[in-house]
Amino acid sequence: MSDLFYKPKNIYETASDELVSKFYSYAESYREFLNSAKTERECAESAVKLAKSKGFWEYVPGEKINPGDKIFSVNHGKAVTLAVIGKRSLRDGVNIVAAHIDAPRLDLKGSPLYEDGEMAFLKTHYYGGVKKYQWHAIPLEIRGVVITSDGNAVNVSIGSDKSDPQFVITDILPHLGADQQKKVLADAFPGEGLNILIGSKPDSSDSEEKEKVKLGVLKLLNEKYGIKEEDFLSAELEIVPAFEVRDIGLDRSMLGGYGHDDRVCSYAALTALTDLEDTPDKTAVALLVDKEEIGSEGVTGMQSRAFERFLGSLTRAQGISLDDCLSESFCVSADVCNAFDPNFPEVSDKRNNARLNYGVSFMKYTGSRGKSGSNDANAETIGKLRRIFAANDVAWQMGELGKVDQGGGGTVAMYMARRNIETIDAGVPVLSMHAPFELISKADLYMTYKAMLALYEN
Ligand code: MN
Ligand code: MN
């Protein structure tokens, strides 16, 4: 056992050149994943594609399983469960990493399109916790799916290709911002003001229609995608930032991009599982779920019985009870945490906050106002993970979600714990979490991958 990383310290103090080059090369593969997958559906597709390329196949409940089998299951196109069947019986429990692939964004409303001031706009309802002012005056893309009246699914992705147009939400010019500047942020940027500018050119036909700009937009949507106005009713169109993932800092030690929360832990879990070389002792499971940002509700969220369906069919295949398997299982709820930000030190307790470049961060508890709504892991659970990380040279630290009574939040941890699975939160520290452009450290990213690999191999 090496104690090299046992006490929290900046990873770069002790990391060899060889290790640093691993941080940077792993970040390149993550960059590709994050650039291509900006919605939960796209993440699920990318995960399946990667798993298939590594020899995983789609599991049909009821099928026999054998040690070494590499399987996956997709839940309604927006959540993926993957597993490598271990040598030991499922009666001894499984090792789970649970991460989420949804991210804060703006969703189009059911009747979104309108014209005002001879410009066409789309109305939105934000998804997850966003600071609304951050979504004004930045380039945006539209991605998602539309189910047309004849039942066809039309995939939409506008804005990522260099030749594509992009979209924007306007803001008041500072010259005329006197009233706006006096308001508190929550009032200055109302939710009903998050309207996407989608066109300004009136249709040139001599139609009777009064709203010619809206007509022009509808004609283009119909030409390009075969969509009619009422098809918005059965659509899931997500407005996401048009930023590419970029190196940040002269030393290129950080990655800036949209959706690190929580695609960074999702990618680490996915690659750790698919990189397993030997059949693990215990069955290794990666959960990539949807809807975490809105409370893990919904058919594709962590509260869905899809998890029981998958794991239950595995335990049935071995003739044992699901509850017996769950009670012996171990789960890392892999979600990002807040990194200490010297620009805003007042929201954190510096002694207990995660820091950039100190490795994967445990969170014993999340929640708010006296840990309310928190999993609050057992000391034994943290002790177990400490030993695994120390034995595998994983740089780790302990974090917490800000100063006491400053605010708070939750993860999927409590929904795993509810199933009687020993659960602990651990993930990558993030700066500007939930902003359209979030920031992580490449060293922390790699250490999170290594942490998950160590858990699965243990
Ligand atoms: Mn998260
Ligand atoms: Mn989040």
DSSP line for 369-395? TTTBT-----HHHHHHHHHHHHHTT--
How many angstroms does the Cα of residue 412 sit away from the middle of ligand 1? 9
* CATH code for the structural domain at 105-241: 2.30.250.10
How many angstroms does the Cα of residue 230 sit away from the middle of ligand 1? 33
pLDDT, residue 43, reads: 98
Best CA proximity match to 288, nearest among 35, 106, 42 = 42
How many angstroms does the Cα of residue 437 sit away from the middle of ligand 1? 15
Contacts of 345 by beta carbon, 8 Å cutoff, 6+ apart: none
Q: Where are the alpha helices (DSSP H) in 240-375?
A: 260-274, 306-317, 322-327
Whole-angstrom distance, CA of residue 346 vs CA of residue 341: 9
At 101, list the tokens. 């692939």
At 139, list the tokens. 């380039």
Contacts of 64 by beta carbon, 8 Å cutoff, 6+ apart: 317
What is the helix (H) or strand (E) element at residue 430, kind and residue range? Answer: strand 429-430
Whole-angstrom distance, CA of residue 131 vs CA of residue 339: 18
pLDDT, residue 7, reads: 64
How many angstroms does the Cα of residue 223 sit away from the middle of ligand 1? 38
pLDDT, residue 208, reads: 87
Percent above pLDDT 90 for the chain: 90
Task: Count CB neighbours of 386 within 10 A.
Answer: 15
- Cross-strand pairs, 441: 254
Ligand approaching nearest to the C-alpha of 264? 1
Q: What is the average per-residue pLDDT within 446-454?
A: 98
Contacts of 419 by beta carbon, 8 Å cutoff, 6+ apart: 307, 326
User: pLDDT tens, 267-321?
Assistant: 999 999 999 999 999 999 999 999 999 999 999 999 999 999 999 999 999 999 9
Residue type, 132: K
User: pLDDT tens, 5-58?
Assistant: 446 899 999 999 999 999 999 999 999 999 999 999 999 999 999 999 999 999
pLDDT, greater one: 371 or 328: 328
- Confidence bin at 407 (pLDDT 50/70/90): confident
At 289, list the tokens. 């779920």
Residues with CB under 5 A from ligand 1 (ion): 261-262, 335
How many angstroms does the Cα of residue 160 sit away from the middle of ligand 2? 23
How many angstroms does the Cα of residue 175 sit away from the middle of ligand 1? 37
Whether omega for the bond prior to residue 262 falls within 30 degrees of 0, making it cis, is yes
How many angstroms does the Cα of residue 62 sit away from the middle of ligand 2? 35
Best CA proximity match to 46, nearest among 35, 55, 58, 37 = 37
**120-173-199 Cα angle (round to 5):** 15
Whole-angstrom distance, CA of residue 307 vs CA of residue 298: 13
CB neighbour class for 150 (10 Å; exposed up to 12, middle 13-18, buried from 19): exposed
User: pLDDT tens, 216-232?
Assistant: 999 999 999 999 999 99
CB neighbour class for 285 (10 Å; exposed up to 12, middle 13-18, buried from 19): buried
How many angstroms does the Cα of residue 159 sit away from the middle of ligand 1? 25
- Confidence bin at 2 (pLDDT 50/70/90): very low
Cβ atoms 128, 320 nearer than 8 A: no
How many angstroms does the Cα of residue 262 sit away from the middle of ligand 2? 7
At 433, list the tokens. 């979490």
Whole-angstrom distance, CA of residue 339 vs CA of residue 109: 33
Ligand approaching nearest to the C-alpha of 265? 1
DSSP code, position 434: T
Considering only 193-202, 380-389, 425-434, which range has the smallest mean pLDDT?
Answer: 380-389
Ligand approaching nearest to the C-alpha of 129? 2
Whether the predicted pLDDT of 355 surpasses 80:
yes
pLDDT, residue 287, reads: 98
Distances (CA, A) of 161 to 9, 106, 164, 214: 41, 20, 5, 24
Top CATH class of 11-103+258-457 equals: alpha beta
Question: 153 by DSSP, 3-state: which?
Answer: strand
Whole-angstrom distance, CA of residue 265 vs CA of residue 99: 6
Q: Where are the domains of the chain?
A: 11-103+258-457, 105-241
Whether the predicted pLDDT of 1 surpasses 80:
no
Cβ atoms 266, 428 nearer than 8 A: no
Q: What is the average per-residue pLDDT within 406-433?
A: 95
Q: What is the pTM of this model?
A: 0.96
Whole-angstrom distance, CA of residue 79 vs CA of residue 59: 14
Best CA proximity match to 45, nearest among 126, 139, 145, 125 = 145
Whether the predicted pLDDT of 206 surpasses 90:
no
Percent above pLDDT 70 for the chain: 98
Whole-angstrom distance, CA of residue 191 vs CA of residue 207: 34
End-to-end CA distance of the chain: 14
Cβ atoms 67, 276 nearer than 8 A: no
How many angstroms does the Cα of residue 337 sit away from the middle of ligand 1? 8
Best CA proximity match to 274, nearest among 88, 50, 98 = 50
Whether the predicted pLDDT of 4 surpasses 80:
no
Q: What is the average per-residue pLDDT within 426-437?
A: 98
Residues with CB under 5 A from ligand 2 (ion): 261
Whole-angstrom distance, CA of residue 71 vs CA of residue 81: 8
**Which sign, positive or negative, has the C-alpha torsion 256, 99, 292, 43?**
positive
pLDDT, residue 418, reads: 96
Whole-angstrom distance, CA of residue 334 vs CA of residue 264: 9
Average pLDDT score over the chain: 95
- Identify the residue whose tokens are 């991958």: 449
How many angstroms does the Cα of residue 335 sit away from the middle of ligand 1? 5
What is the phi/psi pair of residue 22, to 5°? -70, -40
Cβ atoms 231, 3 nearer than 8 A: no
pLDDT, residue 424, reads: 95
How many angstroms does the Cα of residue 31 sit away from the middle of ligand 2? 19
